[in-house]
Structure 1
Amino acid sequence: MSYKAMAHIHSLNGEMAEITVLEEVGNNDYIVDYKGVKCHALFNWFVCQFYVDDVYRRVDK
């Protein structure tokens, strides 16, 4: 089940943008879609926000 959320985006220097969370692949590790790019994201439970690394943690498949 995918859902939309707001997240801090690495390529935007931490600015917020909308993502689509596609699946949880590990403990606090998610595959997300940001503007057609699939990449990894972490969820920070202390501030309840996603952090997307669309620069170094892209998913190739």
Structure 2
Amino acid sequence: MDAGEVVGEVLGFVLFFVVLAAVLGAGVLVLMFFWRMAFGPRRPMRPRPPSPPDDWDDEEYISRHHH
């Protein structure tokens, strides 16, 4: 076994472990994202502004809500 074969084997192992770490890290990130989506903190929805009555026209609504 010469030096070229040893260097090739070492580089192969290093590359394998780098790819393995990247795949496992990406999997953990995806799992954390879905875990947070499923069980994360829930914020209540913001209240909707009240809708104007049917007899209002647009100018009256705008003048009351956009001073």
TM-score normalised by structure 2 residue count: 0.16
Q: Which has the larger radius of gyration?
A: 2
Structure number with the bigger relative contact order (C-alpha 8 A, sep ≥ 6) is 1
- Structure with bigger strand share is 1
- Structure with bigger helix share is 2
